[in-house]
């Protein structure tokens, strides 16, 4: 099963019902203008985001997350506690893909920590750097 599967629509001639109707035309969801179109993360993108979230959760830095899917953007928010503002927002904005990059990591104040075309490189900003501590 792929990340995106086309939805096949069947058009019927007047007077024909579903069972005996011939398939006049087929269209995929991307070819039709749907009022319910939303931007979402693919399976691979969500897997990479959840790997980062799992590491942050294991370190005790966060406890909850939320996902919002809108017409123009998809947002994965990482919370320290459920009742607070998100620590980080990972945003996907496809209309910026050719310009600045579709992915961004944003702080609660709106500061963009990193923006880019590749999600893995953008998520590197959330990776903690290992430091040597002298005794």
For residue range 2-50, what is the model confidence (pLDDT) as tens digits? 566 655 555 555 555 555 444 444 444 444 456 678 888 889 999 999 9
Q: What pLDDT is stored for residue 7 in this prediction?
A: 57
Query: Cα(15)–Cα(21) distance, rounded to whole angstroms?
Result: 9
Q: Is 98 left (phi over 0), alpha (psi -120 to 50) or beta?
A: alpha
Contact partners, residue 11, CB within 8 Å, separation at least 6: 24, 25
Contact yes or no for 103/92 (Cβ under 8 A):
yes
pTM, 2 dp: 0.67
Beta strands in 45-106 (DSSP E): 64-69, 74-79, 88-92, 103-106
């Amino acid at each position: 099963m792929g990340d995106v599967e086309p939805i096949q629509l069947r058009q019927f001639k007047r007077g024909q019902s579903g069972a005996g109707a011939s398939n006049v035309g087929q269209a995929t969801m991307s070819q039709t203008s749907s009022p319910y179109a939303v931007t979402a993360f693919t399976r691979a993108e969500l897997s990479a985001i959840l790997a980062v979230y799992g590491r942050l959760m294991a370190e005790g830095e966060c406890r909850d997350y939320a996902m919002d899917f809108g017409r123009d953007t998809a947002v994965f928010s990482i919370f320290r506690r459920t009742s607070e503002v998100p620590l980080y927002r990972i945003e996907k904005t496809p209309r910026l893909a050719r310009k600045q990059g579709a992915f961004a990591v944003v702080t609660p104040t709106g500061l963009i920590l990193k923006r880019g075309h590749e999600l893995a490189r953008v998520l590197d900003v959330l990776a903690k750097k290992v430091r040597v501590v002298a005794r």
